[in-house]
């Protein structure tokens, strides 16, 4: 016995309109700027050091920094821009050691929760003085949450019309390593 499901065009349009409304309420108009500042005490993968680079994943976007040669304390200071459609999806970060003759070696990974930053971006903060801390995000201690790998407390600051979060991210699956990054919600003016 077969069962068929018939859906009218009107039902699909109503569902699509509700989905669009929920999405537009969930994410304020803008893009996420991820500035990868530096790596701190990354694991050494080769006898002569490591050649680290970072790959940032968000939904179906994958962006990569440049490779910094022969160091476990690289300074990238590179900005990557990502479109956010679902603030519940964390940013995934992977660090690799670039190898010429073999597969690149993993140097750790982490996740960063976007929801606190997006929540602050939704708020009307225009009357607040630039440099004001609007929220402090604390690391998950002793829990099993994998949504965020903060090494320490991270402040979200209202800075010149944008919400900015400076964070130290502890890498997982390695003995040591921290990534220093800055998240910035860049508003896109309504058309």
CA distance 26 to 12: 21
Note the pLDDT tens digit of each residue in 46-72.
877 899 999 999 999 999 999 999 999
CA angle 25, 30, 61 (to 5 degrees): 100
**Contact criterion met (CB below 8 Å) for 123 and 103:** no
| pLDDT reported for residue 38 | 99
46, 67, 42, 113 alpha-carbon torsion, rounded to 10°:
-140
Query: DSSP class of residue 10?
Result: H
Task: List C-alpha distances in Å: 70 to 43, 48, 54.
Answer: 12, 7, 15
CATH number of 30-187: 2.60.40.150
Contact 69, 51 (CB under 8 A): yes
With a CB cutoff of 8 Å and minimum separation 6, the contacts of 99 are 46, 51, 105
DSSP code, position 131: T
Of the listed ranges 19-33, 71-85, 133-147, 155-169, the least confidently predicted one is: 19-33
pLDDT at 140: 77
Q: Could you tell me what percent of the chain has a pLDDT over 70?
A: 82
The pLDDT of residue 185 is 94
Identify the residue with better confidence: 9 or 67.
67
Q: In the chain, where are the structural domains located?
A: 30-187
Helix (H, G, I), strand (E, B) or coil at 21: helix
């Amino acid at each position: 016995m077969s069962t068929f499901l018939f859906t009218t065009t009107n039902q699909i349009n109503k569902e699509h309109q509700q989905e669009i409304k929920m999405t537009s309420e969930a994410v304020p108009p803008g893009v996420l700027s991820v500035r990868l500042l530096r790596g701190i005490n990354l694991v050494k993968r080769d006898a002569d050091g490591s050649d680290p680079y970072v790959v940032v994943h968000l939904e179906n976007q994958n962006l990569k920094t440049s490779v910094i040669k022969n160091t476990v304390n690289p300074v990238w200071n590179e900005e990557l821009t990502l479109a956010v459609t679902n603030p519940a999806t964390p940013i995934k970060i992977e660090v690799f050691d670039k190898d010429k003759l073999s597969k690149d070696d993993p140097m750790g990974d982490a996740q960063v929760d976007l929801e606190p930053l997006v929540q602050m971006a939704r708020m009307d903060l225009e009357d607040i003085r630039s440099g004001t801390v609007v929220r402090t995000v604390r690391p998950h201690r002793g829990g099993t949450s994998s949504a965020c790998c903060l090494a320490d407390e991270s402040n979200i600051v209202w800075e010149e019309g944008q919400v900015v979060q400076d964070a130290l991210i502890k890498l997982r699956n390695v003995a040591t390593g921290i990534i220093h990054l800055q998240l910035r919600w860049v508003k896109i003016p309504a058309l």
